[in-house]
């Protein structure tokens, strides 16, 4: 029965995806997405044990006037008895003369609460609002009919859909963003639909360290980006029945768009983490301008979610 349901879901999912066309506006690219995938896969919020709070701030291409500045905040929690997770998020981005905000509500259904594996399906729904301040244009040809000199804005419905499978050692995901963009003609206010697929291997058996490795493929129209990631999470013995606790981590990511990313994380307490990402581009024209990102994770133990999928309370889940 479970296999039949999964087959039908996958068929429907691919039917939606391959109806998509090519558009101009791209998704935001956050270096710390390996820790929290909810921006592009709503199914990933179906993680038990905690009320989960996440926030990060990114300043891209430091030194370039008008370069992107991204703010992202999320909250989610799984109700184990209902097999359901609920979340809320807000993303904002300022890029030169343009600005957007993207508030979303998220629901994920955890199809299996098996202690060895789980399969979740999720959807996010909200709005995508973009504005362009035309009064700041400095055009060489002021008579160009495509230019405008006032503030233009547009608000559209927005939705994401995804699937995620988790076992004790693997995470597999498939998702698509901006469903309402599929089949729409290209324009400057529309964010294009992107397809995400990823696989993560994680090992949390050792007493001294945890480690993981992941591969992600993103497709947005004619552009495909492949990203690889590997990280190590060092642990400290506590002498308690809860087991050792992760204390800090270091990781590296590389994107086929010629970007190398250094990831650092520090566990302030067993439930509070802070992270930093340094993103260096090797593309022509951007090699002198790096991107910096700061991340904050906080989890509050939940009595509603009475199930744990990790061997130690000191291990941060994926």
**Residue 195 forms part of a structural domain:** yes
Residue with tokens 């804005």: 153
Provide the domain limits for residue 11: 2-130+153-301
pLDDT in tens, 135-151: 665 555 555 555 555 67
Residue 74 has pLDDT above 90, yes or no: yes
CATH number at residue 120: 2.40.160.40
Query: Highest-confidence range of 53-67, 86-100, 292-306, by mean pLDDT?
Result: 86-100
Say how many Å lie between the first and final Cα of the chain, rounded: 27
Q: With 70 as the cut, is the pLDDT of residue 20 above it?
A: no
Local confidence band at 189 (pLDDT 50, 70, 90 cut-offs): confident
The reported pLDDT for the residue numbered 67 is 74
Residue 312, domain member (yes or no): no
Determine, yes or no, domain membership for 292. Answer: yes
Number of domains forming the structure of the chain: 1
Mean pLDDT, residues 231-253 = 84
pTM equals 0.82
Q: Is residue 318 part of a domain?
A: no
Q: Which residue has tokens 């479970």? A: 2
- Domain membership of residue 309 (yes or no) is no
> What share of the chain in percent tops pLDDT 90?
44
Q: Is the model's pLDDT at 41 over the cut of 90? A: yes
pLDDT in tens, 107-128: 999 987 676 788 999 999 999 9
Could you tell me if residue 50 is inside a domain?
Answer: yes
CA-closest candidate to residue 296, choices 29, 72, 104: 72
Whole-number pLDDT of residue 301: 78
In a domain, 51, yes or no: yes
Highest mean pLDDT pick, 129-143, 151-165, 291-305:
151-165
- Amino acid 191: pLDDT: 80
* Cα–Cα separations (whole angstroms), residue 300 to 36, 56, 201: 16, 18, 26
pLDDT digit string (tens) for 301-310?
766 444 444 4
The mean per-residue pLDDT over the stretch 145-166 comes to: 82
Is 141 within the bounds of a domain? no
């Amino acid at each position: 029965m479970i296999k039949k349901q999964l087959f039908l879901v996958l068929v429907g999912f691919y039917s939606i995806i391959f109806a998509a066309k090519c558009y101009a506006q791209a998704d935001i690219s956050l270096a710390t997405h390996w820790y929290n995938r909810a921006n592009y896969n709503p199914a990933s919020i179906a993680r038990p044990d905690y009320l989960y709070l996440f926030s990060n701030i990114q300043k891209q291409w430091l030194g370039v006037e008008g370069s992107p500045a991204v703010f992202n905040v999320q909250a989610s929690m799984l109700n184990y008895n209902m097999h359901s997770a609920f979340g809320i998020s807000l993303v904002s981005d300022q890029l030169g003369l343009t600005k957007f905000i993207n508030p979303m509500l998220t629901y994920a259904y955890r199809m299996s609460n098996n202690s060895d594996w789980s399969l979740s399906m999720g959807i996010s729904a909200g709005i995508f609002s973009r504005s362009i301040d035309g009064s700041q244009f400095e055009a060489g040809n002021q008579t160009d009919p495509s230019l405008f000199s006032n503030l233009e804005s547009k608000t559209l419905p927005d939705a994401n859909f995804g699937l995620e499978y988790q076992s004790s050692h693997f995470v597999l995901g498939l998702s698509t963003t901006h469903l309402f963009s599929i089949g729409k003609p290209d324009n400057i206010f529309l964010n294009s639909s992107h397809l995400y697929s990823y696989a993560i291997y994680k090992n949390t058996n050792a007493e001294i360290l945890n480690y993981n490795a992941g591969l992600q493929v993103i497709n947005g129209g004619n552009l495909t980006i492949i990203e690889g990631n590997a990280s190590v999470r060092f642990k400290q013995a506590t002498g308690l029945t809860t087991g050792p606790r992760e204390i800090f981590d270091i990781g590296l990511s590389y994107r086929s768009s010629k970007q190398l990313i250094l990831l650092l994380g520090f566990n302030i307490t067993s439930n509070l983490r802070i992270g930093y990402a340094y993103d260096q581009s090797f593309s022509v024209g951007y090699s002198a301008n790096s991107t910096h990102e700061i991340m904050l994770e906080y989890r509050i133990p939940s009595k509603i979610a009475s199930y744990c999928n990790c061997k130690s309370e000191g291990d941060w889940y994926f």
